[in-house]
Amino acid sequence: MKTLMEMTAGYLREVISFCSQVGQLRAEGEKMRQILSLVPGRPSTEDKTVRIDQVCEDIFRNHLKKCPVRIKVLSEHGTFGDENPQYFCALDPFDGSGIFRRGLAREFYSALTFFDLRGEPVCGGTADILQQSIYLASPQGVVHISSEGVAVKVSASCKRKLDGEAVIAAYLMNRDYRRTWEKETRKLGDKFPGLLVWPNGGSCIYQYIASGQVHAYVMFKEPRSEIDPGLAFAKFSPFPVVSVDKDGGLKRYRFEPEKQSERVSFFIAACTKELLRNIIEVIRLP
């Protein structure tokens, strides 16, 4: 466990250091925006692999080489590592590449979770690259470490019921996601017109639920590669993450190796079980 936590923190800090240099070197920044390929399981209109994705993944590969533990890595961009692993790792090396590719300096992250062979989270973390801070999740809880190195333990909100002050996250920067979300959640907006919808999500969102800044994340057709890297926060905060079937039945979401390109039809993570059920009730109102 100590080895994996040290690797997590070391990797996230190196990503922050590298990306801060890219931000200062405009020519290098243009190079980092180069499109390399499509993301497995995604249409070209949704996501692409750009060079900064590859470079951040290469940083992780270098840490992996020095790690005495056998790890198989399920990245958003492919699978690598040991074929006889002691642990799995779900990795999103650079979350926000679509924004980065368009030259906007907003919301860049790197996220990962380590799992045991049963698929249970062991530890993980996220780098908030622009804020130069990291969040770490372990059996001891969730900690935010600021750019000055100050570590503070954080916790999820205890909010149990929807109201106009709730903060719900959803990735709405893509037309297909946005259209589906607006259609499926119309009753949510009708009942709570003051609801704040933060239009970003994916693997970057889980530390914000774990720290109480966001109350829930609601998505449709969510790729597993956007869920798995954040699951350490759900485990150790803790808060529920579920898939919802057509009849409103709930099933605990679980990491499954080699399935990162698959999707979840209706997915919710929320700070409490009560809030999660309340959101589903409103969405499913007749």
CA distance linking residue 101 with residue 35, whole number of Å:
8
When pLDDT is cut at 50, 70 and 90, the band that residue 25 belongs to is very low
What's the CA gap between 233 and 121, in Å, rounded?
Answer: 9
Lowest-confidence region among 15-19, 104-108, 236-240? 104-108
Residue 176's contacts (CB-CB under 8 Å, 6 or more residues apart) are 45, 46, 221
pLDDT of residue 246: 79
Q: What DSSP string describes 35-54?
A: EEEEPTT--TTT-EEEHHHH
Over the range 127-142, which residues count as b (16 or more CB within 10 Å of their CB) and which as e?
A: bbbbebbbbbbbeeeb
- What is the distance between the alpha carbons of residues 22 and 97, in angstroms, rounded to a whole number? 13
Flag whether pLDDT at 245 surpasses 90.
no
pLDDT band at 249 (very low <50, low <70, confident <90, very high): confident
pLDDT for the residue numbered 48: 65
Q: What is the model's pLDDT at position 74?
A: 95
Query: Percentage of the chain surpassing pLDDT 90?
Result: 75
Residue 127, pLDDT score: 97
Residue 128, pLDDT score: 96
CA distance linking residue 271 with residue 211, whole number of Å: 10
Do residues 115 and 88 make contact, with C-beta atoms less than 8 angstroms apart?
yes
What mean pLDDT value characterizes the chain? Answer: 91
Q: pTM value?
A: 0.92
Q: HSE on the CB side for 138, CA within 13 Å?
A: 15
Instruction: State the average pLDDT over residues 114-136.
Output: 97
**pLDDT at 42 > cutoff 90:** no
Q: What is the pLDDT of residues 75-124, one digit of tens each?
A: 877 899 999 999 999 999 999 878 888 878 789 999 999 999 999 999 99
Integer Cα distance of 129 and 13 in angstroms:
9
**Model confidence over 225-234: pLDDT tens digits?**
999 999 999 9
Residue 34 has pLDDT above 70, yes or no: yes
pLDDT of 27 > 60? The answer is no
Q: Would you state the structure tokens that stand for residue 205, as one six-digit string?
A: 């969102």
CA distance linking residue 92 with residue 110, whole number of Å: 6
Kindly report the CA angle at 63 between 61 and 67, in degrees rounded to 5?
110
Q: Which pLDDT value is given to residue 254?
A: 96
Cβ(286)–Cβ(250) under 8 Å?
Answer: no
3-state helix vs strand vs coil in the chain, percent to 5: 35, 30, 40
